[in-house]
Chain A
Amino acid sequence: MNCTDQNPVPEAANFRRPAEVVMRLARMGSFHQTRLSFMRTLLRRLKNEQWTFDKPVWEIDGDGFGRAVYSVIGPVRTYSLVAFSHYLPDEMRSDRVIATAWDATFTLFDGVPTTADLDRLQQNVPKQEAGRISDSEISLSRANRSVRLWNHVIEKLSIGEQPDREQLESVGYLVRTTAVYGSGKFGAADRLTICDRPELSGPFQAELLSVWLTRAFAIDLVEHIAQSVGGVKATVIAPDLRKRIGVGNSTGLGMAPFLFNHPALINNWMMAREEAIARVRAVKEASAAEVAEFVTSFERAKFNFSNWNTVHEIQLKKLASLGDDLEKMSVYISTENLNHDCPWDRFYQWAEQHLSLEGQEQLVSLILEPYGELVDDLTGCMDADEHLSFIIDGSMTVAETLNILDLQCQWALSIDFDQPESQARFWYTSAEKLEPRVGERFNEPGEEYESPYGIGFYISQLNKTLLGWAETHSEQKPIADFLLAHPEHRHTLRRVQNLKNRPYAEVQDNVIASDMLPIDLLRCKLSFFGATKFDPRSDRWVRICMYQDCPHPDELLARKIPVLA
């Protein structure tokens, strides 16, 4: 849909939060999943379109090693997760991108693989980056077992008992994915192959389908091994516990460059989310059913909070604030009118005055819950034709460019980059498995390899050079003339022009500052995926849970009816 021309709620414009409020790291690092998150979009579609589910291949031995295939069958196409389970010595298990072996490896196959396909994939998928897949495959991924939970679950199931609930809930998953590659990486199908398919056109739908099926595989695998160990004594995981099992993910800096490299896409994600919040804030009267649904969602958020564990001091502080915020919100909900007089806008305005950023962002996620009909169409606005944002309009005048810098880049122009702490860090790609990293500019070698992500610094440089150039030339000159003289600013100018129509395209904070927290970037992106339980392990590494409490394939979808011969 055209998201600008067909806006059904024009009055929402009055409630939209500006980019200078939203695109700050501290706020982005407090985002929670919403009903627009990509996992939820995916499961809504599978359910609404009545996809079916099948497990055509299960060639796993008693120790849990071998291969399996999980298929989802839609109205037009079928996609299959091809899973390989391997023996991995404990000392080789690492979630870092520099690892070379994993407990399980996967690819999402476009269709149903033949035995020949499986044999080909078995030669390549376990090698991950060192292997090669083809345009019949859409994603490539791997996962490691949770040492905290895996053996415990197998031991209990094999003797006919259920795993310890507390232990299971505190971890939340049996396996952690450590990388999910898509979009033409390592030979996989180019994004253009799938971007016209409605079911995969939204962001990360293929990757998240693969993760959802990985969750099912992990549960089948522990039950299979328990059965092999315990024989007739063994049991399966009880349904209420089974639902509490999600998929973990560990991620480091590898996820952050995406936010810098895809400004048009990030703008659309943010615009859709902010438009949804604005539409709900514009609601004048809430029905009893809508209020009841909000309260149910609020209670679920409190429950999730009680299960959200971390040992990292940054997150401990944030969780303490969120706990206080949830208490204050409870009081507000029980004492204030949630039905009349723009109740959600009043609630939000109160939150801005009384809650931390964690609480404010929790609230905006929750007020969307009762309003699927009002906001779910916005998921159709979250992809982007990035080509259109690449082309520079060289006919734009220098004056107009300076105007964009003045109106939309004050956040960058107000930073004193002469202070060492303002450029203390630099982003780069390591030769070691191409892992993106952040270095200390004044204490580490490698600055000459800097990736161009410190956009605030580059904007300040562009502004300075352009002002000087305009003095000796003319503000009415086309920016093309400036670019010919100053090619070093071409990358930045492209991004600055982009802001004219895409105000949420840039993170409006200094991402090379000494106090920058990369985990804020990671949390923002992961919240859009639909992740929960953000558990930082350092300022640049976070563990999360995906699909916890979501239905499993055999719950959401009917089993494919076998064709009788």
Chain B
Amino acid sequence: MKQKQTLVEIEGYFRKVARAVGLHWGLAEEAGKAARWLAAFDLPGPELMLSHLQNIEGKDYEQFKPIIGSDSINAHWHTNDQTLCPIITGAAIADRAKLLLNGHTISLVSAAYPILLAATIGQATRSHNMVITISWANVKLSCYGNGIRIEGDRNDLWLDKTEFVSCQQTFDSLPEQLPSTLAYGIDSEVWKVVDELAFRTYAPATEESRAGAGAGLTDND
């Protein structure tokens, strides 16, 4: 059964889920924004984000952060022996968005959930007032400040891994899809898992903490 979750809830819960599986707060914020960004287009970003976050739980950041090399643009980004994390890598590319303005291409070797990578980069395009196109397998996703365009085989959007991704600035198209929903329909069982993971960021209630939070006097007056 599907249930509606508002975009505010999607963002807030996924920020917590990302934190719960071990990402630092700053990257957890990116994960929340990316899940929200895809949900706004009614794309299954929240479900894929959940799968990815469950996969990376407890993993060491150093193991799967991108190795860029001294020439941060033209080299192929990769990790030593893992697939690239789309949140960490997407944030690193978004941070370098201005470098793409010069016509450079950032290429990735072996990345998990490329759609999440596109979302992490895509939600940054509005600020930079540019279009970034991310290509993998047989599909291209162009991210505009206010919309997206998908070209090629849509089935490849949902790949959990791809061997090669390229990101570059593009100019010659218009978005074909604008954000279409403010409340995303998600399977109730999936949301239950999201809720349980987010719950891990809350401190168990103790008498001590309960006592310290209230009025200290009667509040029934």
Q: Chain A residues in contact with chain B, CB under 8 A?
A: 90, 93-96, 98, 134-135, 144, 146-148, 183-185, 187-193, 250, 252-253, 387-388, 390-395, 428-432, 434-435, 437-439, 444-446, 449, 452, 478-481, 483-484, 487-494, 537-538, 540-541, 543
Nearest-Cβ distance from residue B75 to partner chain A, whole angstroms: 14
- Taking a contact as CB atoms under 8 Å apart, the answer to whether A93 and B26 are in contact is no
Note all chain A residues with C-beta closer than 8 A to B97. Answer: 394
Is B1 located at the chain interface by the 8 A CB criterion? no
A148 in contact with B221 (CB, 8 Å): yes
Q: Is B65 an interface residue (CB 8 A)?
A: yes
Residues of chain A contacted by B9 (CB below 8 angstroms): 184-185
Pick from B6, B24, B33, B204 the residue with the most CB of A within 10 Å.
Answer: B6
Q: Are B8 and A387 in contact (CB under 8 A)?
A: no
**Interface: B59 (CB within 8 A):** no
State whether B202 touches A429 (Cβ < 8 A): yes
For window 24-53 of chain B, which residues contact chain A by CB distance below 8 Å?
24-27, 29-30, 33
Contact of B61 with A by CB under 8 A: yes
Q: Are B214 and A541 in contact (CB under 8 A)?
A: yes
Alpha-carbon distance between A182 and B123 when the two chains are bound, in angstroms? 24
A489 touches B68 (CB 8 A): no
- Closest residue of chain B to A452, judged by CB? B25
CA distance A445 to B220 in the complex (A): 29
- Whether A480 pairs with B208 at a CB distance below 8 angstroms is no
Cβ of B8 and Cβ of A183 under 8 Å apart?
yes
Chain B residue at minimum C-beta to C-beta distance from A429:
B202
Judge whether B95 and A491 touch: CB under 8 Å: no
Residue of A185, A252, A435, A437 near B215 (CB, 8 A) is: A252
B11 to chain A, nearest CB (A): 9
- From B124-132, B148-156, B157-165, B169-177, the one touching the partner chain is B124-132
> Is A444 touching B209 in the complex (CB atoms < 8 A)?
yes
Contact of A437 among B61, B209, B219 (CB under 8 A): B209
* Cβ distance A83 to chain B, nearest Cβ, rounded Å: 21
**Contact, CB under 8 Å: A480 / B212:** no
Give the complex CA separation of A394 and B25 in angstroms.
17
Which of the residues A395, A484, A538 comes within 8 Å of B68, measured between beta carbons? A484
Closest to B99 in A: A395
| Chain A hits for B204, CB < 8 A | 431, 446
- A393 & B202 in contact (Cβ 8 Å cutoff): no
B35 to chain A, nearest CB (A): 14
Contact B212 A487 (CB under 8 A): no
Name the one of B95, B127, B206, B221 contacting A480, with C-beta atoms under 8 angstroms: B95
Contacts of B7 in A (CB 8 A): 184, 190, 192
A-B contact pairs, 15 of them (CB 8 A): A135-B4, A146-B221, A184-B182, A250-B215, A393-B98, A429-B202, A432-B210, A478-B95, A481-B72, A487-B23, A487-B61, A488-B26, A491-B25, A491-B26, A537-B216
Interface centre among B29, B182, B205, B209 (most CB of A within 10 A): B209
Within 8 A of A (CB), among B162-221: 182-183, 199, 201-206, 208-210, 212-217, 219-221
A135-B183, A444-B208, A538-B214 known; 12 new pairs, CB 8 Å cut-off, are A96-B214, A148-B221, A184-B9, A188-B6, A390-B33, A391-B124, A394-B92, A394-B97, A429-B201, A435-B213, A449-B201, A491-B26
The chain A residue with its CB closest to the CB of B16 is A429
In the assembled complex, the CB of A459 is this many whole angstroms from the nearest CB of chain B, namely 14
Verify B8–A185 contact, CB threshold 8 A.
yes
The answer, among A191, A392, A541, for a CB contact under 8 Å with B216, is: A541
Please report which residues of chain B, range 41-82, place their CB below 8 angstroms from some CB of chain A when the two chains form the complex.
61, 65-66, 68, 72
Residue in A193, A439, A449, A494 whose CB lies within 8 Å of B212: A439
User: How many B residues, CB 8 Å from partner?
Assistant: 54
Closest 7 A/B residue pairs (Cβ): A490-B26, A394-B95, A184-B8, A184-B6, A432-B205, A538-B216, A491-B26
Identify which of B5, B8, B65, B217 contacts A538 (C-beta below 8 A).
B217
Complex Cα–Cα for A41 and B94 (A):
39
- A446 — which chain B residues lie within 8 A by C-beta? 203-204, 206, 209
Q: Which of A187, A252, A439, A490 has the most CB of B within 10 A?
A: A490
Residue among B30, B61, B213 making CB contact with A253, cutoff 8 Å: B213
- Bound CA–CA A392/B124 (angstroms): 9
B residues engaging A (CB < 8 A)? Answer: 4-9, 23-27, 29-30, 33, 61, 65-66, 68, 72, 88, 91-92, 94-99, 123-124, 126-128, 182-183, 199, 201-206, 208-210, 212-217, 219-221
Asked if residues B25 and A480 are in contact (CB atoms below 8 Å), the reply is no
Closest to B213 in A: A437
Instruction: Specify which of B94, B210, B213 lies most central, judged by the most chain A CB atoms within 10 Å of its CB.
Output: B213
In the bound assembly, the distance between CA atoms of A192 and B66 in angstroms comes to: 35
Distance in angstroms from B39 CB to nearest chain A CB is 11
Measured in the bound complex, the distance between the Cα atoms of B206 and A430 in whole Å is 9
B6 and A187 form a contact (CB under 8 A): yes
Contact status A392-B94, CB under 8 Å: yes
Q: Across the interface, do B182 and A252 meet the contact criterion of CB distance under 8 Å? A: no
Residues on B with C-beta less than 8 A from A193 are: 182
Using Cβ atoms and an 8 Å threshold, which residues of chain B touch A491?
24-26, 29
Q: Which residues of the partner chain B approach A93 to less than 8 Å between Cβ atoms?
A: 220
A489 contacts which of B26, B210, B215, B220 (Cβ < 8 Å)?
B26
Closest to A484 in B: B92
Instruction: Identify which of A188, A395, A488, A543 contacts B24 (C-beta below 8 A).
Output: A488
Give A390 to B24 CA distance when docked, in angstroms: 16
Bound CA–CA A246/B98 (angstroms): 53
Query: In the complex, A392 Cα to B65 Cα: how many Å?
Result: 18
Please name the residue on chain A nearest to B217 by beta carbon. Answer: A537
Give the chain B neighbours of A489 by CB distance below 8 A: 26
Are A388 and B127 in contact (CB-based, < 8 A)?
Answer: yes
Give CA–CA (A493, B4) in the complex, Å: 34
- The answer to whether B8 touches A94 (Cβ under 8 A) is no
Contact between A391 and B94 (Cβ–Cβ < 8 Å)?
yes
Alpha-carbon distance between A392 and B98 when the two chains are bound, in angstroms: 11
For the complex, give the distance between the alpha carbons of A23 and B126 in Å: 30
The residue of chain B having its C-beta at the shortest distance from the C-beta of A438 within the complex is: B212
A93 vs B199: C-alpha distance when bound (angstroms): 27
- Bound-state Cα–Cα, A541 to B216, Å: 8
Contacts of A494 in B (CB 8 A): 26, 29
Query: What residue in chain B is nearest A432 (Cβ atoms)?
Result: B205
Closest Cβ of chain A to B49, distance in Å, is 17
Q: In the bound complex, how far is the Cα of B98 from the Cα of A489, in angstroms?
A: 21
What is the distance, in angstroms, from A484's C-beta to the closest C-beta of chain B? 5
**A547–B195 Cα gap in the complex (Å)?**
38
Q: Which residue in chain A gives the minimum CB-CB distance to B11?
A: A184
Residues on A with C-beta less than 8 A from B99 are: 395
Kindly identify which residue among B26, B126, B183 contacts A187, using a CB–CB cutoff of 8 Å: B183
CA distance A541 to B221 in the complex (A): 14
B91→A490 contact, CB < 8 A: yes
Q: Which residues of A contact B183 (CB under 8 A)?
A: 135, 187, 190
Bound: A489/B95 CA distance, A: 14
